Amino acid sequence: MNFIEARKLVHEYIRRDEEDNVESILTALDGVDLDVKQGEFVAVLGHNGSGKSTLAKHLNVLLAPGGGTLWVDGKDAEDADNLWAIRQSTGMVFQNPDNQIIASVVEEDVAFGPENIGVPTAEILKRVEKSLKSVGMIQYREHSPNRLSGGQKQRVAIAGVMAMEPKCIVLDEPTAMLDPNGRREVLEAVEQLNREKGVTVILITHYMEEVTNADRVYVMDNGKVVMQGTPRAIFSQVDTLKSYRLDVPQITLLAYELRKAGLAVPEGILTRQELVEALCRLY
């Protein structure tokens, strides 16, 4: 069985007026199928309001499925008894770095998760050290989060999740509020955790450049999964991506334009190096 298996997952936000009559129904998830294997790096792309954040909140049972089935780490997400076990095995990092750091000292924040699940004191100290090291933030352990940069705060948040020793991390637009340097820091930390510690990563984003290293990419629109495949396969469909309000990294777009203009550049170019090689071969 896959680590995450969603079948025809549905979620509706129902708005009611004061008399409890249904005012409007917004279908945020409309029959989503998702399969993620242990150790994979999966990216979910979509514009704002495409349902990707709602999907993320299901994986950690912050929202309960309104229809369909969801199994995480072999446990049924609909069974309330599995709630804490699932939250421990799939950690979650949110968009706003300030609104997810609870303590006024970095190491105390990282300890928050393990404290909640009742890890013994000596073990907590070990875990805090290990997870702060894994995101390169150990030298800030006694700092106040207020004086850290956005990228550093997000890395602390990731360490806080890692200290719970999850099998999977779900990151819900972790870089949307960061500058380019912060974005790079966070992405490098995440990719490293995936590569070296074998943590399953589900990265939710609308920055296409961030998903070039993913194993697989899902594209969501209007609550549905509309595309899935390797980054290369996805990026070669420039027009389709544009129709889903997404854009393509500048290099991929340039390759696409050159191809349209008649140069025999291969489809789905992801990096600058690839394009340089391709053009040199043609020249």
By beta-carbon proximity to another protein, the closer residue of 69 and 181 is: 181
Cβ distance to another protein smaller for residue 139 or 181:
181
CB of 55 to another protein, least distance (A): 15
What gap in Å lies between CA 18 and CA 219, rounded to an integer?
37
Q: Which is nearer to another protein, 8 or 232 (CB)?
A: 232
Work out how close the CB of 246 gets to another protein at its nearest, in angstroms, rounded to a whole number.
Answer: 6
Pairing of the two strands 75-76 and 90-93 = unpaired
Contact 92, 174 (CB under 8 A): no
Count of beta carbons in the 10 Å neighbourhood of residue 156: 26
Q: Which CB atom, from 151 or from 195, has the smaller least distance to another protein?
A: 151
Which residue number, 7 or 133, has a Cβ lying nearer to another protein? 133
CB of 116 to another protein, least distance (A): 4
Tell me the C-alpha distance between 55 and 10, whole Å. 9
The smaller minimum CB distance to another protein, of residues 240 and 250, is found at 250
Q: How far apart are CA 205 and CA 93, in angstroms?
A: 12
Residue 19 beta carbon to another protein: minimum distance, rounded to whole angstroms? 20
Q: Is the Cβ–Cβ distance between 161 and 114 less than 8 Å?
A: no
CA 15, CA 210: separation in Å to the nearest integer?
A: 34
**Least distance in angstroms from the C-beta of 193 to another protein:** 17
Q: How far is CA 58 from the centre of its chain?
A: 13
CB of 39 to another protein, least distance (A): 22
Contact call for residues 89 and 30 (beta carbons, < 8 A) = no
Closer to another protein by CB, 8 or 224: give it: 224
Answer for the pair 188, 14: CB distance below 8 angstroms, yes or no.
no
Note whether 185 and 97 are within 8 A (CB): no
Widest distance between CA atoms in the chain: 71
In whole angstroms, the minimum distance from the beta carbon of 223 to another protein comes to 15
HSE (side-chain half, CA atoms, 13 Å) at 127: 25
